[in-house]
C-alpha cells in the first residue's frame, strides 16, 4: 500500500495544530477576525511562489461549480473556527473536528460516490468515541452528562458546525482537484478566499484598530501582524500537503489521519496554555489515535 498520502496527511496535521496553537496565542490580545485574515494573508506567499511552477490545467464546469460552492462555506467555517479557538480551550474545541470523517461517510458518498470499508468505518467510529470521552469525568453523574457539558461550551458547539462544513468543503475540494490539480486548486482557492474574507475582516475588526487619536480608517497593529506571521507560514504548508494527500486517497481517510492534529492540539493546550484535565482528554485522544491506525493499516 502506498503510504505517501498518510505521510502528507500527517504533515498537514502537524502544521495545522502548530498554526492553531500559535493562532490561539495571538488571539489572546488581538481581534479574531484580523488574526484569521492575517493567517490567510501570510499563507499566500509560499503558495503563490509554487503557483509559478504549476501548469494551468484545462478547467470545466464541474471545477467552477465546486469552487464557487465551497468558497462561501469556507468563509463561514473560518469565522466559526477562529471564534471557537478564542472562546474555549484548545483541548475542548479541536477534538470535535474528529466528527468531520463521520460526516464524510455520508457526504463524500453523496458528492463523490466514495465509499469507506468496514474497517474504515470502525476507525472513524473510534474517533467519534474519543471525542465523546473528552469530558469523561462527567459520566459519574450520568451517561448523558458529557453531552450536556458539550452544549455548555460555546466553542465546542461552533467547532461541531465547522466539522460539518468541512465535510462538505472537503468533498467539493476533491471534486475541484479531480477536475484540475491539487496545487492549482489549493493556490487559487486560498487566493480567492483571502480576497473575499478581506472586507469582512476589516469591517468586523475596525473598532479594534481605531484609536481616538487616529483618523478614521483601518490601520493594522504591528503586534497583530508579527504574531500572525508564523501561523500563516505553517498554514501554507498545511494547505499544500492537504491538497496533494486528498488527491491520492479517499477523502474520509485523509481527513481522519489529518485529525491527529487533535492529539497534537491537546498537547499544545497543556504545555503552552496550561489547560487542565489533560489526562481525561488524552484518553479520548488515544481512542482517536487507535482509529487513525486502523484506517492507515487495514482500511
Structure confidence at residue 142 (pLDDT) = 57
Structure confidence at residue 208 (pLDDT) = 61
Minimum mean pLDDT range among 20-24, 150-154, 191-195, 251-255: 150-154
**How far is CA 34 from each of CA 89, 145, 228, 258, 289, rounded to the nearest angstrom?**
20, 36, 9, 26, 33
Per-residue pLDDT at 149 exceeds 90: no
Structure confidence at residue 214 (pLDDT) = 44
Per-residue pLDDT at 280 exceeds 80: no
* pLDDT tier for residue 212 given thresholds of 50, 70 and 90: very low
Per-residue pLDDT at 242 exceeds 70: yes
For residues 161-184, give the mean pLDDT: 95
The Cα 184–Cα 65 span in angstroms is 16
Q: What is the pLDDT of residues 181-195, one digit of tens each?
A: 999 999 999 999 999
119 touches 252 (CB < 8 A): no
State the sign of the Cα–Cα–Cα–Cα dihedral 149, 151, 153, 157: positive
The Cα 75–Cα 254 span in angstroms is 22
Higher pLDDT among residues 93 and 79, named by residue? 79
* pLDDT tier for residue 124 given thresholds of 50, 70 and 90: confident
Per-residue pLDDT at 241 exceeds 80: yes
* pLDDT tier for residue 58 given thresholds of 50, 70 and 90: very high
For residues 58-74, give the mean pLDDT: 96
Minimum mean pLDDT range among 58-67, 93-102, 165-174, 202-211: 202-211
For residues 108-129, give the mean pLDDT: 88
Domains contained in the chain, number: 1
Q: What is the mean pLDDT of the chain?
A: 84
**DSSP annotation of 274:** -
The Cα 257–Cα 7 span in angstroms is 9
Q: At 198, which helix (H) or strand (E)?
A: helix 182-204
Per-residue pLDDT at 166 exceeds 60: yes
Structure confidence at residue 213 (pLDDT) = 45
Per-residue pLDDT at 151 exceeds 60: yes
The Cα 245–Cα 187 span in angstroms is 15
Cα radius of gyration (the chain): 19
For residues 132-150, give the mean pLDDT: 59
Q: What is the pLDDT of residues 22-39, one digit of tens each?
A: 998 888 888 888 999 999
Other Cβ atoms less than 10 A from the Cβ of 154: the count is 13
The Cα 203–Cα 50 span in angstroms is 31
**Residue 292: HSE in the Cβ half-sphere, 13 Å Cα cutoff:** 23
Per the structure, the complete domain to which residue 178 belongs is given by 4-297
Amino acid at each position: 500500500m502506498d503510504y505517501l498520502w498518510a505521510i502528507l496527511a500527517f504533515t498537514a496535521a502537524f502544521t495545522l495544530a502548530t498554526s492553531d496553537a500559535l493562532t490561539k496565542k495571538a488571539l489572546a490580545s488581538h481581534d479574531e477576525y484580523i488574526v484569521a485574515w492575517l493567517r490567510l494573508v501570510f499563507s499566500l506567499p509560499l503558495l503563490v511562489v509554487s503557483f509559478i511552477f504549476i501548469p494551468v490545467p484545462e478547467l470545466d464546469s464541474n471545477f467552477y461549480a465546486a469552487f464557487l460552492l465551497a468558497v462561501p462555506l469556507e468563509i463561514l467555517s473560518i469565522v466559526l473556527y477562529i471564534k471557537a479557538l478564542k472562546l474555549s480551550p484548545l483541548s475542548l474545541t479541536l477534538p470535535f473536528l474528529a466528527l468531520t470523517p463521520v460526516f464524510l461517510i455520508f457526504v463524500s458518498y453523496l458528492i463523490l460516490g466514495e465509499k469507506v470499508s468496514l474497517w474504515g468505518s470502525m476507525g472513524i467510529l473510534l474517533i467519534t468515541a474519543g471525542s465523546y470521552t473528552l469530558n469523561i469525568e462527567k459520566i459519574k453523574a450520568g451517561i448523558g452528562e458529557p453531552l450536556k457539558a458539550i452544549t455548555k461550551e460555546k466553542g465546542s458547539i461552533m467547532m461541531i458546525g465547522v466539522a460539518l462544513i468541512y465535510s462538505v468543503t472537503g468533498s467539493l475540494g476533491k471534486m475541484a482537484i479531480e477536475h484540475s490539480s491539487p496545487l492549482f486548486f489549493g493556490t487559487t482557492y486560498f487566493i480567492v478566499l483571502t480576497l473575499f474574507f478581506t472586507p469582512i475582516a476589516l469591517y468586523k475588526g475596525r473598532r479594534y484598530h481605531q484609536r481616538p487619536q487616529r483618523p478614521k480608517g483601518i490601520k493594522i497593529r504591528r503586534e497583530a501582524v508579527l504574531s500572525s506571521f508564523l501561523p500563516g507560514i505553517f498554514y501554507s504548508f498545511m494547505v499544500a500537503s492537504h491538497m496533494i494527500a486528498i488527491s491520492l486517497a479517499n477523502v474520509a481517510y485523509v481527513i481522519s489521519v489529518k485529525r491527529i492534529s487533535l492529539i497534537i492540539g491537546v498537547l499544545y493546550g497543556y504545555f503552552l496554555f496550561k489547560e487542565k484535565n489533560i489526562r481525561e482528554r488524552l484518553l479520548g485522544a488515544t481512542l482517536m489515535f487507535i482509529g487513525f491506525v486502523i484506517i492507515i493499516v487495514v482500511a
